[in-house]
Amino acid sequence: MVTIREVAKESGFSSTTVSIVLNNAPLSRYIPTATKKRIERAAKKLGYRPNLFARSLRSKRSHTVGVMVFDMTDPYCTLILRGIENSLYQASYLPILTDVHNERSRFERYLEMLLDRRVEALIVLANWLFVDIDVLADLEKSSIPTTMIGRELQTDSISSVTVDNEAGAHAALEHLHSLGHREIGFIRGPKTLADSAPRWRGIRSFAKAAGLELDPRLILDLPESRDPISSFESGYKLTEELIKQKRPFTALLAFDDMTAFGAIRALAKAGLRVPEHCSVIGFDDVAASSLYTPPLTTVRQPMEAMGTMAVGIAVEGINAVLEKRKVAAVHRKMTPELVVRESTRSLL
Amino acid sequence: MVTIREVAKESGFSSTTVSIVLNNAPLSRYIPTATKKRIERAAKKLGYRPNLFARSLRSKRSHTVGVMVFDMTDPYCTLILRGIENSLYQASYLPILTDVHNERSRFERYLEMLLDRRVEALIVLANWLFVDIDVLADLEKSSIPTTMIGRELQTDSISSVTVDNEAGAHAALEHLHSLGHREIGFIRGPKTLADSAPRWRGIRSFAKAAGLELDPRLILDLPESRDPISSFESGYKLTEELIKQKRPFTALLAFDDMTAFGAIRALAKAGLRVPEHCSVIGFDDVAASSLYTPPLTTVRQPMEAMGTMAVGIAVEGINAVLEKRKVAAVHRKMTPELVVRESTRSLL
DNA sequence: TCCCGAAGTTCGATTTAAATG
DNA sequence: GCATTTAAATCGAACTTCGGG
């Protein structure tokens, strides 16, 4: 590897001057163009690339951001990761990606590894995460800018990016209602999952405003589970139960897309076609939703934008610590969007 | 941040001794247990964590592996990435994840960034990559152990992990044939995609062996495109054409799962149910396949295992350069597995 | 005082060579 | 020579200080 000293020798200047020129440091104002040219030529000729270890040792900067995902195989992650990657690229940071597998020990080990590497910020993709106050505590004392995607929090040391679950669920029910559906089944999220409550609030608020009765016998809850695919299986089972009950319903509002897929499968098994016999709506707009047969009507989380937003907050946080500014945590709630496809139909 | 010198002061020994003890270096054999104890206690008391920049500067090691994906949103990636992440974790390496977006300039920039950071190995996930000999050249001259997943290559400086496409396609057709299907539609991969040819070979070889005639009018090709989702759309369109032709077929062998999803949609649109009116088989076993309605019969690539395998090769490569051994590139071809679900049915 | 450039120190850990009893 | 410990050199870049014109 060629060092700055070799460039110095080759160009005939000292390594100081080389450093100043190549970094375009403030002092380089004074250095004549001829000198700069010679140095740059020498650097290029030798194929000089600064040693980032040395640079980081001195500058205490890693130009790296730690990304922690709770479960990569959750389809919800993909687009968010894409958004993160893309924005980080633009800002010239590189991501170290870690997948916590929903395990606390793994979380701790990874957090330690990332901190040891002096990542300049942390972005945590808390998908399908069940309340765990300790994790937050660990994060808070890490003392680097941290942004959490997917969980609303009240801390003011950790920023967050979430969807407006309430508005989304509200819109979903409104859609079904506007199509003429009155007897609607609901599969709610697991009680301990952070998203569950606000979504249900959105549903109740619309129902109340529209004077719609919610039949408690048509309301089922997803069981708690650490595995995102389980919401597919549970969606399947709960829908089977719903059908067995023989209480008529013309539409089903599922907690998320995976649940909706499970529901559609159960419906199909029972000889019920979607949307002819029953409309189904999901939440998230996972990649598979538009590919499904029928294409799934759902409430889209602006996932790529959420990733981008998280990076924006992270970079702002990094700049703040560089300039020794204090910044308060930011809490952004993104607006979801109803995507009408073919799994819902009008009764009118 | 607490440094080794502070630990030295606290424990009453020199930083040399502290370093030796904490790293369990060879010389630590001579150091009495009492000394070790005191040093370890001091380190723990102060919460000492070695500065990895300094350590890397000396040791020239980063304990980091660069992972380059050509398109993260391709569902094919997810499980492979999971396999990579998991194995890297076990080996105490951290991945830097980059997504090249199928753009050559982005590839080059990222490669440079990774090399600057002295990643100790490179794993390239060449999904949906169209031949580009220059990329290979760039990789070859990088002089760090490189493993490519998803592309068979003949180079002996770059290792590779691929599926046995030929065997997989062979098995797919065999499955259809064993179910009694004789009039079969085929949607082949784009001509320029590396996987296309071997899969077709597998099909022809089975057809020949079984004495099955392939009707050229039922054989269509996916157009070239940089976008993996396009295979869904093309699958849809080509299947429409197939249907319009009015040549009867009882089964459809799609290039991959995405194509199969598109085909199923087109079939449904035309009022043809899967598998009642037409069986469909895919390739890959993407996450969505088991969730689909109907669940898709397909040929599974052992994706997680492929990720694991790639990391194994990478780590072996790293160890080789550490010990100044020469290792030849390794080329592993993994065996795919037929997964029979409900999108195919027997005619017998 | 302004411009240009160099010598020397620093970042924090590892390692070599060497000094003790 | 052996067990035990350490001073000093090193890794490569960046910054502080200083000197000459």
Number of structural domains chain A divides into: 3
Q: What are phi and psi of A256, to 5 degrees?
A: -150, 180
Cβ of A63 < 7 Å from strand D?
A: no
| pLDDT confidence of residue B213 | 94
**What is the CATH number for A145?**
3.40.50.2300
Name the band, by pLDDT with cuts 50, 70 and 90, for residue A309: very high
The residue to which tokens 């800002």 are assigned: A91
My answer on whether A174 and A277 are in the same domain is yes
My answer on whether A289 and A308 are in the same domain is no
Domain of residue A38: give its range.
4-50
| pLDDT confidence of residue A129 | 66
What average pLDDT score do residues A263-292 get? 97
Q: A1-55 pLDDT, tens per residue?
A: 899 999 999 999 999 999 999 998 888 888 888 889 999 999 999 999 999 999 9
Would you call A98 and B94 a contact, using CB atoms and an 8 Å cutoff? yes
Asked if residue A341 is part of any domain, the answer here is: no
Q: A22-32 pLDDT, tens per residue?
A: 998 888 888 88
Nucleotide nearest to A20 (CA to C1'): D14
Nucleotide nearest to A17 (CA to C1'): C5
Please indicate whether residue A86 or residue A103 has the higher confidence score (pLDDT). A86
Q: Does A137 score more than 90 pLDDT?
A: no
| pLDDT confidence of residue A226 | 79
My answer on whether A182 and A84 are in the same domain is no
Nucleotide nearest to A57 (CA to C1'): C11
**What is the CATH number for A43?**
1.10.260
In this complex, which protein residues place their C-beta within 7 A of any atom belonging to strand C?
A 12-17, 27, 29-32, 35, 54, 57-58; B 1, 3-5, 15-16, 19-20, 22-23, 25, 27, 48-51, 53-55, 57-59
Q: A164-199 pLDDT, tens per residue?
A: 999 999 999 999 999 999 999 999 999 988 899 999
| pLDDT confidence of residue A225 | 86
My answer on whether A311 and A295 are in the same domain is no
| Below-50 pLDDT ranges, chain B | none
My answer on whether A278 and A217 are in the same domain is yes
The residue to which tokens 């000999």 are assigned: B133
| pLDDT confidence of residue B137 | 84
Asked if residue B247 is part of any domain, the answer here is: yes
Nucleotide nearest to B60 (CA to C1'): D11
My answer on whether A177 and A296 are in the same domain is yes
CA A40 to C1' C6 (Å) is: 19
Protein footprint on strand C: which nucleotides are under 7 Å from a CB?
Answer: 3-8, 10-17
- pTM, two decimal places: 0.95
Asked if residue A344 is part of any domain, the answer here is: no
Asked if residue B125 is part of any domain, the answer here is: yes
Closest chain B C-alpha to A65 CA, distance in angstroms: 10
What average pLDDT score do residues A205-232 get? 93
My answer on whether B248 and B172 are in the same domain is yes
My answer on whether B185 and B288 are in the same domain is yes
**Residues of B numbered 118-137 whose beta carbons fall under 8 angstroms of chain A's beta carbons: which are they?**
118
Q: Which residue is nearest to nucleotide C5 (CA to C1')?
A: A17
Asked if residue B152 is part of any domain, the answer here is: yes
My answer on whether B79 and B206 are in the same domain is no
| pLDDT confidence of residue A227 | 81
| pLDDT confidence of residue A132 | 67
Q: B130-144 pLDDT, tens per residue?
A: 556 678 888 888 889
Residues of A in contact with B52 (CB under 8 A): 116-118
Average pLDDT of chain A is 94
Total beta-carbon pairs less than 8 A apart between chain A and chain B: 127
Q: Does A296 score more than 90 pLDDT?
A: yes
Asked if residue A216 is part of any domain, the answer here is: yes
CA B46 to C1' C13 (Å) is: 17
| pLDDT confidence of residue B132 | 67
Name the band, by pLDDT with cuts 50, 70 and 90, for residue A331: very high
**Residues of A numbered 135-194 whose beta carbons fall under 8 angstroms of chain B's beta carbons: which are they?**
none
My answer on whether A46 and A82 are in the same domain is no
Q: Which residue is nearest to nucleotide C6 (CA to C1')?
A: A14
Would you call B287 and A73 a contact, using CB atoms and an 8 Å cutoff? yes
Would you call A287 and B288 a contact, using CB atoms and an 8 Å cutoff? yes
